[in-house]
Amino acid sequence: MCSSLAQTPSLHNPPLVEVIAQLQWGTPTTTLSCHDTLDEDSTKYEELFKAFADKVSAKGYTQSERILPLGIPFFPFRPTYKYFKSNDSSVFQLGAGIFSVNITPPYERWIEFRKIVALGIESLLGCLPEHEKKEHMKVKLRYINAFKRDTLTELSLNKFLTEILKFKIHWPSILLEQAESSDKIKVQLDLVIPLKSGLNMELFIAEGSIINEEAMIMDIATSITTLDSAAQDKIMNAFDSSHEAIATTFFSLIAPLIPDKIRPKEK
């Protein structure tokens, strides 16, 4: 694990909404039946869901819930079950060709969430069929943040992008001539950035709401699809690299808000 991960700032009032660590494998291209009479593929997945439940139950994740009701077909790369424990914000989700670890606040640091991700990956690999372990693996890490009005006061999205995040927006004169005001032009930023490290970064910024409260949404994700086997060390190294890229980008972008609006915790 990169030593720099332990140095990531921790914030008193973080804008974090959710962190999602996701693993995707295989190429299930057809909808799988899960009706009263299970076919071979459906039985295979039901066995996987049960085996995973047994493994994580021993680690305290004793509760499970079927996301797709019985009688509804399995959808490729869509979670079918979630597994959780009382008084904890972390959740495992598992479906045909997809696994994720989700957490909502309170969230302290990656180094703590990483332990939960590693537990989930270890449990998954312990019950995944051998032929599926040989499939190419896609690792994706996603951080969803929401900057509410109490943080940004009256900043429009345009000013948030230009004054805080330092993006440059140049409007063609024909738009400015017709627009009531440039501040009222609605903008959504959606970037896909291939990184030198081999990761792909997706950065999405737009106006939105969290629990009926207006906010600026910043969704940052990185992914890599070149893993050629389901080795836990390779998967976790990919997550570490993903986190480092996201954290470096995020804290650099929001630097103008620190320490005035988002205070770092004292060490």
- Provide, rounded to the nearest whole percent, the portion of the chain with pLDDT above 90: 49
CA distance 51 to 32: 19
Residue 247 lies in a domain: yes
Residue 135 has pLDDT above 80, yes or no: no
Amino acid 29: pLDDT: 53
CA distance 231 to 233: 6
Element (H, E) at 89: none
pLDDT in tens, 171-216: 899 999 999 987 778 888 999 999 999 999 999 999 888 888 888 8
Higher per-residue pLDDT: 229 or 120: 120
Closest CA to 224 of 261, 256, 195: 195
Residue 91 lies in a domain: no
CA distances from 147 to 11, 89, 142, 190, 255 (A): 13, 21, 16, 17, 14
- Token digits for 254? 């929001």
3-state secondary structure of 192: strand
Amino acid 178: pLDDT: 95
Amino acid 262: pLDDT: 62
Residue 193 lies in a domain: yes
Amino acid 33: pLDDT: 53
Give CA 238 to chain center in angstroms: 14
CA distance 102 to 82: 10
Sort strands 213-227 and 137-148 into parallel, antiparallel or unpaired.
antiparallel
- Token digits for 260? 């005035």
Residue 170 lies in a domain: no
Indicate the angle between helix axes 232-253 and 110-125, nearest 10 degrees.
Answer: 150
Residue 214 lies in a domain: yes
- Predicted structure pTM score: 0.87
- Domain hosting 211: range is 3-26+97-145+188-257
Amino acid 4: pLDDT: 45
pLDDT in tens, 66-107: 998 777 777 788 899 999 998 899 999 999 899 999 999 988
Tally of domains in the chain: 1
pLDDT in tens, 17-52: 999 999 998 875 555 555 444 455 677 888 999 999
Closest CA to 94 of 35, 22, 144: 22
Residue 125 lies in a domain: yes
3-state secondary structure of 231: coil
Amino acid 6: pLDDT: 45
Element (H, E) at 177: helix 173-178
Amino acid 196: pLDDT: 95
Residue 251 lies in a domain: yes
Amino acid 259: pLDDT: 64
Average predicted confidence (pLDDT) for the chain: 84
Residue 116 lies in a domain: yes
At residue 267 the predicted structure's pLDDT band, cuts being 50, 70 and 90, is very low
